[in-house]
Amino acid sequence: MSQTKLFDAAAATDLVNELRAIFNSGNTRSYEWRVSQLESLLKLCVDHEEDICDALRSDLSKPALESIIHEIGMVKGSCKLAIKEIGNWMKPEKVQTTMTSFPSSAAIVSEPLGVVLIISPWNYPFFLSLDPVIGAIAAGNTVVLKPSEISPATSSLIAKLFEKYLDTSAVKVVEGAIPETNALLEQKWDKIFYTGNGRVGRIVMAAAAKHLTPVILELGGKTPVVVDSKINLQVACRRIISGKWGGNNGQACVAPDYIITTKEFAPKLVESLKQELERFYGTNPLESKDISRIVNANHFNRVSKLLDDDEVSSKIVHGGEKDKSKLQIAPTILLDVPRDSLIMTEEIFGPLLPIITVDKLEDSFEIVNSGTKPLAAYLFSNNKKLKEQFVACISAGGVVINDTTIHLAVSTLPFGGVGESGMGAYHGKFSFDAFSHKKAVLYRSFVGDVPMRYPPYTDGKLRFLKALLGGGILELIRAILGWS
């Protein structure tokens, strides 16, 4: 048995100190360093596409195409965008100054925060590890990445590839489970970026509070899909299926969790979903190579338990097949499950899709808003008024009309949750901002010093200040001339 050194709090302290020294040396601040690291990351993706796909297949039976679209392709896209834009992002942003501080000029300078910790999950173990790392590097920070122990093949591949491609003095990977994570969380970081669930999110935030460390929490929640009747049903169903089962078999934070539609329309919707599911995954989806499996036995049991309730299992209208030895659960649709059952109170994070029916579609708002705020909310409708209401009334991290999950691939939109689904956002420039401090800079000259700012204080100075802060030129002149 090989002896591995225990990664405890002392080791974590050493690691942080080492990274802080590197950060203080200023190495990671230069444009050149940032770009060279991002280019290496890009090269890593190109050189090792097959290895990455293999690791993801081993961890999740993820189909290669899914791995390429959702993980490697996304990372490459983020890298390319950052490499192209980083020069612009780093430039100080000039802002207007007011008359109150005239004459002056002002700018906002983005500076790296220092030493940051990124804790990533198992469901998109490659993308959700590297995407925040890209932001942290682009902003000029030193980084520790803690990938998930639940996807061990990908985690160790990332550790191995980072060693080979990146500046290991500034970017480190710590593999491990809860003890290692706890050792890391005890340290003082300049930012913690966590992707995962609300329970651990609370632990991360509480640990961060001790050191006043700002956090970004990318969590999940029950993402609803509201489906109207007068739509292109086939296209809608394909987009729902691709968001639900096509993304890691429902084990995704932005996957549709449940559907709300009208009583009247529900049978048609179920029928169409079944048809398209068959087209995608064949008549026996447990045999399909185009769908991921459940990550491990724990999660298999957790998802199975959601169906234990008779009141729930009797509502299965499609699927329900399971193969524990292969950790597979077929795409399963349930109609009209009780709202107080486990499947409707917990995030499903698996291939089960309950459909809740309402009399009028407007009633769906009340259902969605009665729960905690989800990471995403989807609506399929051609009704302009309904769309407007949905966008205005549903609070969620992001909203997509007539599609699912694709907002995640748009770098111009901030990606992040609100309330129980998290705080802070990233992607594109937002990733750079997430790992930067926006330093306010004001340049003043010595001319035009206003004596009214200073003591001894008099009534005349009060009149002057009122005019000055009021911003009215006329009042100002009157005050200076002593007319008011």
Which residues, other chains included, contact 139 with Cβ-Cβ below 8 Å and sequence gap of 6+?
110, 112, 113, 431, 432, 433, 434, 435, 436
| Region 177-196 residues binding other proteins, contact defined as CB under 8 A | 190
Decide: is 101 part of the binding site for other proteins (CB under 8 A).
yes
| Region 80-99 residues binding other proteins, contact defined as CB under 8 A | 95-98
Quick one: how far is CA 8 from the chain centroid? 28
- Cβ proximity to other proteins, 267 vs 470, nearer residue: 470
Binds other proteins (CB under 8 A): choice among 340, 445, 481, 483: 445
- Cβ proximity to other proteins, 6 vs 441, nearer residue: 441
Binds other proteins (CB under 8 A): choice among 358, 423, 475, 478: 423
| Region 6-35 residues binding other proteins, contact defined as CB under 8 A | 24, 26, 29
| Region 297-356 residues binding other proteins, contact defined as CB under 8 A | none
Decide: is 433 part of the binding site for other proteins (CB under 8 A).
no
Decide: is 291 part of the binding site for other proteins (CB under 8 A).
yes
| CB 408 to other proteins: min, Å | 9
Decide: is 440 part of the binding site for other proteins (CB under 8 A).
yes
Give me the catalytic one of 66, 71, 180, 218: 218
Print the SS3 string covering the chain: CCCCCCCCHHHHHHHHHHHHHHHHHCHHHCHHHHHHHHHHHHHHHHHCHHHHHHHHHHHHCCCHHHHHHHHHHHHHHHHHHHHHHHHHHHCCEEECCCHHHCCEEEEEEEEECCEEEEECCCCCCCHHHHHHHHHHHHCCCEEEEECCCCCHHHHHHHHHHHHHHCCCCCEEECCCCHHHHHHHHCCCCCEEEEECCHHHHHHHHHHHHHCCCCEEEECCCCCEEEECCCCCHHHHHHHHHHHHCCCHHHCCCCCCCEEEEECCCHHHHHHHHHHHHHHHHCCCHHHCCCCCCCCCHHHHHHHHHCCCCHHHHCCEEECCCEEHHHCEECCEEEECCCCCCHHHHCCCCCCEEEEEEECCCCHHHHHHHHCCCCCEEEEECCCHHHHHHHHHHCCCCEEEECCCCHHHHCCCCCECCCHHHEECCECCHHHHHHCEEEEEEEEECCCCCCHHHCCCCCHHHHHHHHHHHHCCHHHHHHHHHCCC
Decide: is 472 part of the binding site for other proteins (CB under 8 A).
no
Binds other proteins (CB under 8 A): choice among 449, 473, 474, 477: 449
Decide: is 201 part of the binding site for other proteins (CB under 8 A).
yes
- Cβ proximity to other proteins, 298 vs 443, nearer residue: 443
- Cβ proximity to other proteins, 108 vs 477, nearer residue: 108
Cα separation, 360 vs 347, in Å, equals 25
| Region 38-67 residues binding other proteins, contact defined as CB under 8 A | 63-66
Q: Is 218 a catalytic residue?
A: yes
Cα separation, 116 vs 112, in Å, equals 10
Site residue total, other proteins (CB under 8 A): 105
Site string for other proteins, 369-408 (x = CB under 8 A): x------------x----x---x---xxxxxxxxx--xx-
| CB 99 to other proteins: min, Å | 10
Give me the catalytic one of 79, 237, 253, 276: 253
Decide: is 465 part of the binding site for other proteins (CB under 8 A).
yes
Cα separation, 153 vs 120, in Å, equals 14
- Cβ proximity to other proteins, 232 vs 275, nearer residue: 232
What are the phi and psi torsion angles at 425 (to 5°)? -140, 160
Decide: is 454 part of the binding site for other proteins (CB under 8 A).
yes
Of 128-136, 257-265, 266-274, 416-424: span binding other proteins (CB under 8 A): 416-424
Binds other proteins (CB under 8 A): choice among 4, 32, 212, 482: 212
| CB 232 to other proteins: min, Å | 4
Q: Is 253 a catalytic residue?
A: yes
Of 159-167, 173-181, 319-327, 418-426: span binding other proteins (CB under 8 A): 418-426
The CB density around residue 125, as the number of other CB atoms within 10 Å, is: 28
Decide: is 441 part of the binding site for other proteins (CB under 8 A).
yes
Site string for other proteins, 107-146 (x = CB under 8 A): -xx-x-xx--------------------------------
Decide: is 206 part of the binding site for other proteins (CB under 8 A).
yes
| Cβ atoms 234, 221 nearer than 8 A | no
| CB 276 to other proteins: min, Å | 8
| CB 317 to other proteins: min, Å | 22
- Cβ proximity to other proteins, 73 vs 320, nearer residue: 73
Binds other proteins (CB under 8 A): choice among 87, 179, 267, 471: 471
Cα separation, 266 vs 97, in Å, equals 57
R_g over Cα of the chain: 27
| CB 340 to other proteins: min, Å | 21
| CB 58 to other proteins: min, Å | 18
What residues act catalytically? Answer: 218, 253
